Structure 1
């Protein structure tokens, strides 16, 4: 009898593993999870990554300059991919083995539309298009998403699709970390890719890691020093490798991209917190990148915010290390995540930015449905809670325009920066006058609140409104 029980248990385990491998997002010989990512030279190259099952041995891509005629296929070139075996270990309930493939299209023409597909010669994806950057200082536009993290298929999908439907001609998409909730859970990564679908294969992405892209490498031990970046990151995304040398964790998480007249910089704020020795490495690297920056505009992204948009601990060590460099070298905009609420402002009192003070505009945003309450801290000029958002940033010549939209496409926040001949910015508040600030509390967050918690929230909100009413553009 004992043998039969053991056999039955073994069959259940095998069946469970097969079900997990053959679930909704299981790999097959047909390419899936196709995603374009920017390279350090976006005017002449383009990276792409995808996944198959382990039966694929020779992954490749075909590409050609796109035309209105289907005859472009007569002039395709073939390029072979670099492939690697992937297993999500340590994994949760969905054990998956697969092949990850990546390659870079090189020697491309600037400002040119190309067609491409990926496969193995027998199993092919559909044909996608992408357009390279210009070689000169033309306009640039991109979408910025705060944490997507949870309910990706059902709830984040509406945000990324609304964003693309509203602004389909953007140059790329930027994700400020916490793309998923559990770093090695394959079903969540499957939902993340599913939510954007074919958009990922047509509009390049850049991303910076959040704390949920890290996992506890020692079972039962949640000490920061044992946290590691998920293998999904570097095997799924082909990102620039021009960051600090010699530290594997920072590879493809700390980098910069020059796109037209903007320098975009990604920092790994999670590594800085979990492994403090990497903070100084990043700081020194950042200073060199900022000091030798030929571009008119500078945008930085990292997950943990320098100034928090929700009530809780501040990231003082990160702020102490980075803020002086941001102000010394004229960083224009810092795009962040983590707080699951929205805040936009400067490190000055409300109204001070109108006087031309140096220092970037800081933004914290959230695109997924997980919500926290807003802090209403003094740095915040525009706030929102319990609201899914996406942002559009447009840069042309001496103007940077920022717009934040709700999940249904309504304009919620906006401002412009005008840069003068000295490189100093004049800030113009352009938040829509008829749109009240969204301050409804998220029900899931407040279900266990006490009267004291609600009183504290009301006190913070009243102080915030008083600060705003006491300052105007003329002050």
Structure 2
């Protein structure tokens, strides 16, 4: 009888172990149970492609497993019209690091993050890959490298931040459904609300699902990716993303540049510009240096805190004082920003204490999630919107940069082109739809 009870207890223990792997998390509650699908397992999840410094030659790949998967691999091949690519695959060992995270009422979560830089790619090539180890593999994903024809198409999203899987997902997915295939996506910070809330990060990955694994992305951090006193970037950032490290020391994967044949796109760490005199100077010096020797026709910069906000009382003085002069000096074409939860687009060039709203860098602020701020008319704005979730399609080809803003319904809300002449001078052509602006009731 005693042996029978011991046997029953042993079976019960094994059942619990297999149902809840040791080390995945350390506490439980009703909230945690409802988010159990965000916990790591032996099967890879949170698979994402990130842009490399040279996106026609390489791409970064990241994914997550539980800690039972001490190692993981990436298998890839040149894509074929049928399944024969499986006969010609290459296997790469991933670099693995453990992340232990806990925030607020979430459990302590132990996970392994794996990354590979996939290099030796060719312009115009199509590739397939999967990630995993042993019996635990993802599905095969397919992605393409743009043709080296000097045309680039990409999406830009403002803050997702709140209720990401519930409310941002439709915006992201509608953009993918409604537009031509994009070469990459840009996120202007505040991807989530609480910097180390693993379930929130799970929601962000869930909103994009397979799209993250097939269209490369780049992101710049917002203030909600930092803890305070002192401002510290969440450990999730470097663990789960595989972004360029070609910026200033100490700002790896937050301040960096990506170079296409005719387009340079730059990420600046807005929170460190705001909070750290040392990193502010480092970014200004670095930005000036890479723009001084910039041979590319088009330059786009993304950062979280906007130079001009969607209300005059929300301007960001440090971005105006320290970053705007460099954008003006080097004739940066476009600045895509977040933080101010509304939509606005326009120009504002300061010279000798006077403002000119008909020249200079085009500044855009947008919001992709459901949290909204009020909008107040301002001289710099050509188009504005309140309470409107948007996505933006940017196309660069030869001497024209085309910019189109769509609402979550897929309706064109704003549009303009920048035409660059042989001397590098820009002419902005507004193509604003003949529809009323969406503004709050007075």
TM-score calculated relative to the size of structure 1: 0.84
> Do the aligned partners of residues 18 and 270 (structure 1) sit closer, same or farther apart at CA in structure 2, a change above 3 Å counting?
closer
Name 1:437's counterpart in structure 2. Answer: 437
> Do the aligned partners of residues 57 and 310 (structure 1) sit closer, same or farther apart at CA in structure 2, a change above 3 Å counting?
same
Name 1:315's counterpart in structure 2. Answer: 316
Name 1:50's counterpart in structure 2. Answer: 63
Stretch moving more, 185-194 or 374-383: 374-383
Deviation of residue 78 (structure 1)?
Answer: 0.3
Deviation of residue 159 (structure 1)?
Answer: 0.2
> Do the aligned partners of residues 14 and 204 (structure 1) sit closer, same or farther apart at CA in structure 2, a change above 3 Å counting?
closer
> Do the aligned partners of residues 260 and 76 (structure 1) sit closer, same or farther apart at CA in structure 2, a change above 3 Å counting?
same
**1:44/1:110 contact within 8 Å kept:** yes
Counterpart CA distance in 1 for 2:108 and 2:346 is: 43
Structure with higher strand content: 2
Deviation of residue 91 (structure 1)?
Answer: 5.2
- Confirm whether residue 199 of structure 1 aligns to residue 211 of structure 2: yes
- Confirm whether residue 83 of structure 1 aligns to residue 96 of structure 2: yes
**1:302/1:336 contact within 8 Å kept:** yes
Name 1:461's counterpart in structure 2. Answer: none
Name 1:125's counterpart in structure 2. Answer: 138
Stretch moving more, 18-27 or 278-287: 18-27
> Do the aligned partners of residues 14 and 185 (structure 1) sit closer, same or farther apart at CA in structure 2, a change above 3 Å counting?
closer
Q: Which runs of 5+ in 2 are unaligned?
A: 1-25
Counterpart CA distance in 2 for 1:53 and 1:17 is: 22
> Do the aligned partners of residues 407 and 94 (structure 1) sit closer, same or farther apart at CA in structure 2, a change above 3 Å counting?
farther
Deviations 1:259-296 (A, max 9, x none): 23100000001011122221111000000111111100
Deviation of residue 348 (structure 1)?
Answer: 4.9
Counterpart CA distance in 2 for 1:92 and 1:229 is: 20
Name 1:277's counterpart in structure 2. Answer: 278
Deviations 1:384-404 (A, max 9, x none): 000000000001100000000
- Determine helix, strand or coil for the equivalent of 1:253: coil
Counterpart CA distance in 2 for 1:251 and 1:289 is: 16
Deviation of residue 117 (structure 1)?
Answer: 0.5
- Determine helix, strand or coil for the equivalent of 1:270: helix
Name 2:304's counterpart in structure 1. Answer: 303
- Confirm whether residue 422 of structure 1 aligns to residue 423 of structure 2: yes
Deviation of residue 311 (structure 1)?
Answer: 4.9
- Confirm whether residue 294 of structure 1 aligns to residue 298 of structure 2: no
Q: Which of the residues 99, 106, 119 maps onto 1:106?
A: 119
**1:117/1:125 contact within 8 Å kept:** yes
Deviation of residue 121 (structure 1)?
Answer: 2.7
Residues 63-212 of structure 1: pairs in structure 2 closer than 5 A = 63-89=76-102, 92-134=105-147, 136-212=148-224
Deviations 1:430-473 (A, max 9, x none): 0101x1100025xxxxxxxxxxxxxxxx5xxxxxxxxxxxxxxx
> Do the aligned partners of residues 421 and 36 (structure 1) sit closer, same or farther apart at CA in structure 2, a change above 3 Å counting?
same
Counterpart CA distance in 2 for 1:430 and 1:94 is: 50
Residues 10-25 of structure 1: pairs in structure 2 closer than 5 A = 14-16=27-29, 19=32, 23-25=36-38
Name 1:232's counterpart in structure 2. Answer: 236
- Determine helix, strand or coil for the equivalent of 1:24: helix
Deviations 1:381-429 (A, max 9, x none): 1100000000000011000000000001000000000000010100001
- Determine helix, strand or coil for the equivalent of 1:51: strand
**1:39/1:240 contact within 8 Å kept:** yes
- Determine helix, strand or coil for the equivalent of 2:323: helix
Counterpart CA distance in 2 for 1:302 and 1:229 is: 15
Q: Which runs of 5+ in 1 are unaligned?
A: 1-12, 217-222, 442-457, 459-475
> Aligned-pair RMSD on alpha carbons?
1.9
Deviation of residue 130 (structure 1)?
Answer: 1.1
Count of residues paired in the alignment: 413
> Do the aligned partners of residues 348 and 284 (structure 1) sit closer, same or farther apart at CA in structure 2, a change above 3 Å counting?
closer
Counterpart CA distance in 1 for 2:303 and 2:32 is: 37
Stretch moving more, 83-92 or 409-418: 83-92
Counterpart CA distance in 1 for 2:216 and 2:286 is: 25
Residues 387-406 of structure 1: pairs in structure 2 closer than 5 A = 387-406=388-407
TM-score calculated relative to the size of structure 2: 0.90
